[in-house]
């Protein structure tokens, strides 16, 4: 620690010592030692040597702290591996809506009528998973056509993206599972579903965005109980604003 300049100057050089006895008269006639003499008597280590020791110690402590921080940073695991694996899905996040013709293909689905559908894609659990929720109703009478929800999560062992879902096609309950991959900005799903009636369906599905406001959904290569069904028509959906919840809900 550097000392103030006046004190440093009193410790170096060959000045002639004071001619008095370094005592002064205090209040009440009591003799006191001169403050400068007291400080001179307390200086046990030469100043240059003390400053050198302090400088070396400071450098050693600083280097030790830097090395410790660098080591801890290198060894620390990624605190958000799930979000890192899913961050490429951010452009798909939003509310989407569209109309399409009911063409069947899955057990329980009607054909021929026009359906109004919505799909909400959102982050959940501090952005460690992505949820898809669909709600499709007949345009003419508003009755349910199909609805369900699915979640994409990171498998901590395989590091692949897993898909788990459930819902209703008409009045038929089903569950599904599969894997998801983001390739060239297109989401690819490879899915297997089973209904309450033991009907098994395997298919691939893609979601792509030709522009910011448009989402194209395409179900392909359907195989129903081992029988090839083929591809369904593409469904075009448009981004819509999130609906604000009413007060009290």
Q: Cα angle at 10 between 6 and 15, to 5 degrees?
A: 130
Confidence of residue 110 (pLDDT cuts 50, 70, 90): confident
In percent, the amount of the chain with pLDDT more than 70 equals: 65
- The pLDDT tens digits of the residues spanning 137-166 come to 999 999 999 999 999 999 999 999 999 999
The mean of the pLDDT values for the chain is: 79
Q: Which of 48-52, 133-137, 210-214 has the lowest mean pLDDT?
A: 48-52
Using alpha carbons, select from 139, 141, 87 the residue that is nearest to residue 116.
Answer: 139
As a whole number of angstroms, the distance between CA 73 and CA 33 comes to 57
CB of 216 closer than 8 Å to CB of 240: no
For 215, the token pair is 């989402």
């Amino acid at each position: 620690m550097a000392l103030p300049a006046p004190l440093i100057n009193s410790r170096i050089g060959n000045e002639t010592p004071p001619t008095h006895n370094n005592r002064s008269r205090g209040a009440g006639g009591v003799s006191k030692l001169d403050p400068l003499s007291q400080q001179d008597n307390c200086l046990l280590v030469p100043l240059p040597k003390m400053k050198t020791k302090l400088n070396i110690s400071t450098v050693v402590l600083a280097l030790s702290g830097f090395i410790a921080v660098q080591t801890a940073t290198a060894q620390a695991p990624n605190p958000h591996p799930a979000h890192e694996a899913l961050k490429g899905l951010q452009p798909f996040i939003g509310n989407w809506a569209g109309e399409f013709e009911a063409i069947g293909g899955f057990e329980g689905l009607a054909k021929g009528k026009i359906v109004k559908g919505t799909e909400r894609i959102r982050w959940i659990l501090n952005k460690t998973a992505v949820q898809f929720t669909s709600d499709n109703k007949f345009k003419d009478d508003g009755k349910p056509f199909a609805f369900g929800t699915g979640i994409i999560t990171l498998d901590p062992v395989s590091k692949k993206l897993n898909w788990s879902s459930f819902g209703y096609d008409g009045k038929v309950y089903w569950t599904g599972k599969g894997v998801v991959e983001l390739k060239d900005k297109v989401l690819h799903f490879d899915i297997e579903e089973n209904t309450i009636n033991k009907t098994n369906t395997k298919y691939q599905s893609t979601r792509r965005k030709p522009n910011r406001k448009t989402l194209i959904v395409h179900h392909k290569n359907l195989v129903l109980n081992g029988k090839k069904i083929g591809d369904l028509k593409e469904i075009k959906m448009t981004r819509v604003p999130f609906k604000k919840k009413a007060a009290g809900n």
